[in-house]
Structure formats: structure tokens, C-alpha cells
A and B are shown apart, each in its own frame.
Chain A
Amino acid sequence: QITLKESGPTLVKPTQTLTLTCSFSGFSLSTADGVGVAWIRQTPGKALEWLALIYWDGGYRYSPSLRSRLTITKDSSKQQVVLTMTNMDPVDTGTYYCAHHSLNAGAFDVWGQGTVVTVSS
């Protein structure tokens, strides 16, 4: 059974860097069938916004609109994926999810519960 769980600060100040950790189990991110882990966010009242994705082989992709602010890394031995987002702004307030990118489905087949991040001074 695949599970994912997000962790990180609930409150960050404007201009600070946000670091979120996704801890997962039920698959390996060091073999091809593990495929990848993605980060997605949802700002208040808004739709879902894909942020970044890291593949089992270390390859990655970023949202073009946020590319300059994002870094995604993985530690397969710890079964963790870390997302950093620089220069946080109040408009970045929202719920941040990590999700498993499925080999078979091509989509995000299992999601974490999400973690709420508020950006405020």
C-alpha cells in the first residue's frame, strides 16, 4: 500500500524559503517502477497547481511559472522527497500536497493528506 505524508512549517514569513518534506512508503524511488513523486498546491479558493516532479532516476521537471523558485530533491534511502520554494509571498499561502506519479496510470494515483502553509509577517 502506497502512502505519502507531507511535513514542514505551518507559518513562514515573506521572503523566506519554504522547505517541505514528503515521506513515503509502499514504493521505491530508486527503481523504474517507482516512477516519481510530485508536489501540487492549492491556494484558497483556487484550483490545483502542479509545482514539481522528481523521477526515480533523479530527473525532474518544474512548473514553468515557478521554475526559478523551486528545487526538488530525493533521498531514496530515507524514502523522502524535499521541495524548497524561495522568496515566499502571501499569495503562496495554501495547502501543499505530494503525490505518487504512477507508471501505469501516468497520473498522480495516491496523494498525501496535504500540509497547510501560511505566509505572513
Chain B
Amino acid sequence: IVMTQSPATLSVSPGERITLSCRASHYIASNLAWYQQKPGQAPRLLIFGASTRAAGIPPRFGGSGSGTEFTLTISSLQSEDFAVYYCQHYNNYTFGQGTKLEIK
């Protein structure tokens, strides 16, 4: 199963609402996770089960979708949210190639 994320890079301003996409090449139900990675840091789990926030994740992060199409929404971007975001199908543990959020 191949995980494809879009866009590769997104230039946005603080306060904006953004949506990142992740597409699976085959049906994966809701077996999808989202991770955030900042420079020099390990990834951090944000969302599992496609829509459940991990412990300590602020409510501005939301996940949706099932089957083959998934989205990660950040309702109002904060300065600390500029990072790379990866989706992962956690049956075969495949990661997408990532979407980089950069400051416009």
C-alpha cells in the first residue's frame, strides 16, 4: 500500500485554517495515523484511528476520513505548528512522503 500526501509544501500564515491530504492506494479503513516532526526532533503522534487525537494534542488538530482518503485539519495555525506532517498506514506501517508547512 502506497501513501501519497499532498501538497508537498504549503506556505501559510499564522491564524489560517489548513487541510492536509493523505491518500492510500488501497482501502485501509480507519487505520491511519498523523505525525508532526519539527527540525531536529523525533516525530510526535498527533492522530490515530484517522480521527482520534493522541494524549496532549490540542483540539485545533483534527483528523477525518476513512477508506482511502484522509485529511488533517489545523483550525488556526500557531507558530509552533510549522513543521513536517506525515501520515502512516499502521497495518503495514508505511509512511507518506510528508507535507511541509512553512511560514508565508
Q: Is the CB of A113 within 8 A of B42?
A: yes
Please, how many residues of chain B have a CB less than 8 angstroms from a CB on the other chain? 22
- 25 A-B pairs with C-beta separation under 8 A: A38-B93, A47-B86, A47-B97, A47-B98, A48-B35, A48-B37, A48-B95, A48-B98, A49-B95, A53-B93, A61-B93, A63-B93, A97-B43, A105-B48, A106-B33, A106-B48, A107-B90, A108-B33, A108-B45, A109-B45, A110-B45, A111-B42, A111-B44, A112-B42, A113-B42
Q: Is the CB of B93 within 8 A of A105?
A: no
How far is B43's CA from A108's CA once the two chains are assembled, in angstroms?
9
Closest to B34 in A: A107
Q: Is the CB of A50 within 8 A of B93?
A: yes
Q: Is the CB of B96 within 8 A of A47?
A: yes
Contacts of B96 in A (CB 8 A): 47
Q: Is the interface of A mostly helix, strand, loop or mixed?
A: strand
Q: Mark B84-98, 1 if CB is under 8 A from A, else 0.
A: 001010100111111
Q: Is the CB of A50 within 8 A of B95?
A: yes
Residue B49 CB within 8 A of the other chain:
yes
Q: Is the CB of A105 within 8 A of B49?
A: yes
Residue A94 CB within 8 A of the other chain:
no
Residues of B6-39 whose CB lies within 8 A of A = 31, 33, 35, 37
How far is B41's CA from A113's CA once the two chains are assembled, in angstroms?
7
Closest to B42 in A: A111
Closest-CB distance, B24 to chain A (whole angstroms): 15
Residue B2 CB within 8 A of the other chain:
no
Extra 15 A-B pairs, beta carbons < 8 Å, given A50-B94, A108-B90, A109-B55: A47-B86, A47-B98, A48-B86, A48-B95, A49-B95, A50-B93, A61-B93, A97-B43, A105-B45, A105-B48, A106-B31, A107-B33, A107-B90, A108-B43, A109-B45
